[in-house]
Amino acid sequence: MASQAFDFDGPKGYRLSGRIEGPEAPRAWAIFAHCFTCGKDSLAATRTTRALAARGVGVLRFDFAGLGGSQGKFGDSTFAADVADLVAAGQAMAKVGKEPSLLIGHSLGGAASLMAAGMMPNIRAVVTIGAPYDLKNVLHQFDPAALEEIEANGQAEVHLAGRPFFVHKDLIDALRENDLRSHITALKRPVLVMHAPGDDTVYVENAAHIFAAAKHPKSFISLDDADHLLTQRRDADYVADLIAAWSSRYLPMLSTEN
């Protein structure tokens, strides 16, 4: 099983840093979109993609612009920019003969995957893990005083996941105004919604709304006592097992031809 760097140009000219986890003979290719401020090297991204590779599914995980090893400024990012980065990732993979047919998104990355899939005709299925339906949910991670400063001055330094970031008002406005429901109902792709009922970062009600908005075929799987960031290896392995099994129904290279 090989792991290799895979950097590519984003839609705004920034160089985006990625890593491909790929088996010697992949049955399908996928993209993993990380959670808000997490990056490609988060435990959830690393463990889940490696576990999927061990099950025959090659996966690209990459840093959105302004995070990790990718160029750009996080403060200039928006939800729409993350979606555009996902589309660019798919195009870059296709150019080297690794065209993805599956999108997997964790937390806000799940919301971005639901939106990006509609712009990527070769994506056959989408998986969300602990994803928000109401994107304003992400604002709960901000200190109220920081939000007030952003509203007053157009930007402010905020601490997210223990790290400082400069955030512009454009990002806050995009999270407040985005209508994810219309994109989910128009998607017409198989959707697997995965969520832990005890998730205290993105409440499980978000999963219920995503599932209700999605068209059949759709599936919902409870992640039992997993935490939002999938910090336990057994939870990442469980998620990978379920994704590999579920997606085999929809991905052409995974399907058995009779």
- The single-letter code of the amino acid at 87 is V
- Domain assignment present for residue 252? The answer is no
8 Å CB contact between 63 and 34: yes
Domain that holds residue 51: 2-135+188-247
Report the predicted TM-score, pTM, of the whole model to 2 decimal places. 0.89
**Could you tell me if residue 230 is inside a domain?**
yes
How many domains does the chain fold into?
Answer: 1
We report the CATH number of the domain holding residue 99 as 3.40.50.1820
- Predicted confidence band of residue 136 (pLDDT cuts 50, 70, 90): confident
Q: Which long-range contacts (CB under 8 A, 24 or more apart) does 64-68 make?
A: 64/16, 64/33, 64/34, 65/10, 65/12, 65/14, 65/16, 67/37, 67/38, 67/39, 68/17, 68/39, 68/40, 68/41
Q: Do the domain assignments include residue 169? A: no
**Cβ within 8 Å of residue 253, ≥6 positions away:** 26, 27, 28, 101
Predicted local distance difference test score (pLDDT) of residue 162: 58
Q: Is residue 8 part of a domain?
A: yes
Task: Judge whether 197 lies within some domain.
Answer: yes
Confidence of residue 156 (pLDDT cuts 50, 70, 90): confident
Higher pLDDT residue, 101 or 161? 101
